[in-house]
């Protein structure tokens, strides 16, 4: 898995974009696959915008951007994976969708191809059970933005073999990521811990204890967080956060994972955070927060 190779990333959403950018930045060729060519090209556009933000922070140069984008190739043809050594799936957190994709990849890919799922709440063993190669299925849970967060959780399914695990470790290290080993359990480490934190911040807001700005400011100044919980939820995508909560609630039957009614209200209204320009706060087209815009107050959406 390490070294220069062609890596397939299925799913051109935010996570797929982040994976493609991180992998291509290390010199690998990436084929970014989605259901349509239009969606794949939209993913490339998102990567370009992400790199532009890094250029604005002096983290990358225009030459870096040109080189990275030259290594990422959009496609709507899943058969691109027929000779792949490794395939990353980064599609929505829906077990039915993942089952359909993994079964299709299982038929397309050589028997030694490693299938990596980026699921954050679902069972790697269950995802692996949809294939005839459960020993070659492993979880690698990256966090957004992938290019900037140095962590990846590596999760072995019950039948993942040691060779697959070691190759996943080598790949993580080739991306300069710090990896931790996680025993399979719903939510793993990061998602399981962050979800109740976000949920409680939403309840504090809904109950009128403090404003959205003050809640985030309190957690940043009081506990050293770089970003407050409500702004973090907006960055993750409120629909994504609610899906995590629903999955963990179903798996663990613990009330702390029951999505706050205010979160449900925002998602139903289509206010999904940065990607729609409105969540707990408001954002411009480039994803920058509009400081003068009124945030959500208590249970009200203004």
**pLDDT surpasses 70 at 30:** yes
C-alpha to C-alpha distance for 147 and 22, rounded to whole angstroms: 5
In a domain, 99, yes or no: yes
Residue 301: per-residue pLDDT: 62
* Average pLDDT estimate for 228-253: 95
Check whether residue 115 and residue 225 sit in a common domain. Answer: no
DSSP strand pairing (29-33 vs 86-89): unpaired
Q: Supply the range of the domain harboring residue 239.
A: 192-276
Check whether residue 84 and residue 179 sit in a common domain. Answer: yes
Check whether residue 175 and residue 97 sit in a common domain. Answer: yes
For the ranges 167-181, 206-220, 257-271, 273-287, the lowest mean pLDDT is seen at 273-287
> Which tokens is 207 given?
């109950």
In Å, what is the CA distance from 100 to each residue of 37, 94, 96, 165?
20, 10, 6, 24
CATH of the domain at 197: 1.10.1040.10
pLDDT band at 298 (very low <50, low <70, confident <90, very high): low
Are 21 and 50 in contact by the 8 Å Cβ rule? The answer is yes
> Which tokens is 192 given?
């399981």
In a domain, 87, yes or no: yes
pLDDT band at 2 (very low <50, low <70, confident <90, very high): very low
Strand order in the sheet with 137-142: 72-75, 29-33, 6-10, 86-89, 114-117, 137-142, 151-156, 178-183
Q: What are the φ/ψ torsions at residue 301 (nearest 5 degrees)? A: -110, 110
What are the tens digits of pLDDT across the range 110-139?
999 999 999 989 999 999 999 999 999 999
Residue 300: per-residue pLDDT: 63
- Number of domains present in the structure of the chain: 2
CA 297 distance to own-chain centroid = 28
Check whether residue 16 and residue 90 sit in a common domain. Answer: yes
Check whether residue 22 and residue 145 sit in a common domain. Answer: yes
Check whether residue 146 and residue 260 sit in a common domain. Answer: no
CA 255 distance to own-chain centroid = 24
Q: How many residues does the chain have?
A: 302
Check whether residue 209 and residue 231 sit in a common domain. Answer: yes
What are the tens digits of pLDDT across the range 168-213?
999 999 999 999 999 888 889 999 999 999 999 999 999 999 999 9
What are the tens digits of pLDDT across the range 84-110?
999 999 999 999 999 999 999 999 999
**pLDDT surpasses 80 at 76:** yes
**pLDDT surpasses 70 at 284:** yes
* Average pLDDT estimate for 210-221: 96
Of 156, 183, 210, at which residue does a domain stop? 183
Residue 118: per-residue pLDDT: 93
Percent of the chain residues topping a pLDDT of 70: 96
In Å, what is the CA distance from 206 to each residue of 219, 277, 291?
17, 20, 20
CATH of the domain at 173: 3.40.50.720
Check whether residue 236 and residue 160 sit in a common domain. Answer: no
Taking phi over 0 as left and psi of -120 to 50 as alpha, with beta for the rest, 273 belongs to: left
In a domain, 163, yes or no: yes
In a domain, 297, yes or no: no
Check whether residue 76 and residue 108 sit in a common domain. Answer: yes
Check whether residue 176 and residue 257 sit in a common domain. Answer: no
Check whether residue 51 and residue 149 sit in a common domain. Answer: yes
* Average pLDDT estimate for 59-72: 94
In a domain, 166, yes or no: yes
> Which tokens is 15 given?
């996570």
C-alpha to C-alpha distance for 160 and 205, rounded to whole angstroms: 42
In a domain, 85, yes or no: yes
In a domain, 300, yes or no: no
From the list 249, 257, 116, 113, the residue with the least C-alpha distance to 179 is 116
Check whether residue 151 and residue 45 sit in a common domain. Answer: yes
**Average pLDDT value over all residues in the chain:** 93
Taking phi over 0 as left and psi of -120 to 50 as alpha, with beta for the rest, 188 belongs to: left
Indicate the pTM of the whole model: 0.88
């Amino acid at each position: 898995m390490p070294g220069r190779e062609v890596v397939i990333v299925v799913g051109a959403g935010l996570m797929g974009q982040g994976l493609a950018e991180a992998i291509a930045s290390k010199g690998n060729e990436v084929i970014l696959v989605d259901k349509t060519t239009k969606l794949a090209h939209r993913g490339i556009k998102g990567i370009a915008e992400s790199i532009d933000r890094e250029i604005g922070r002096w983290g990358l140069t225009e030459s870096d951007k040109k080189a990275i984008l030259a290594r990422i190739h959009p496609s709507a043809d899943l058969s691109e994976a027929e000779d792949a050594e490794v395939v990353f799936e980064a599609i929505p957190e829906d077990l039915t969708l993942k089952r359909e994709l993994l079964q299709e990849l299982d038929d397309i890919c050589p028997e030694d191809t490693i299938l990596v799922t980026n699921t954050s709440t679902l069972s790697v063993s269950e995802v692996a059970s949809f294939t005839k190669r459960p020993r070659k299925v492993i979880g690698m849970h990256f966090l957004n933005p992938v290019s900037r967060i140095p962590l990846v959780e590596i999760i072995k399914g019950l039948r993942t073999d040691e060779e697959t695990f070691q190759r996943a470790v080598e790949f993580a290290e080739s991306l300069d990521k710090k990896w931790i080993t996680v025993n399979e359990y719903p939510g793993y480490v990061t998602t399981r811990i962050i979800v109740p934190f976000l949920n409680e911040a939403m309840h504090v807001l809904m109950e009128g204890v403090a404003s959205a700005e003050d809640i985030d400011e309190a957690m940043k100044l009081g506990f050293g967080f770089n970003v407050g919980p409500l702004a973090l939820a907006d960055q993750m995508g409120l629909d994504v956060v609610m899906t995590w909560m629903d999955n963990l609630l179903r798996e663990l039957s613990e009330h702390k994972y029951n999505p706050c009614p205010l979160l449900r209200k925002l998602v139903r209204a289509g206010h999904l955070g940065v990607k729609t320009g409105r969540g707990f706060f408001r954002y411009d087209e480039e994803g920058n927060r509009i400081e003068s815009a009124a945030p959500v107050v208590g249970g009200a959406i203004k």
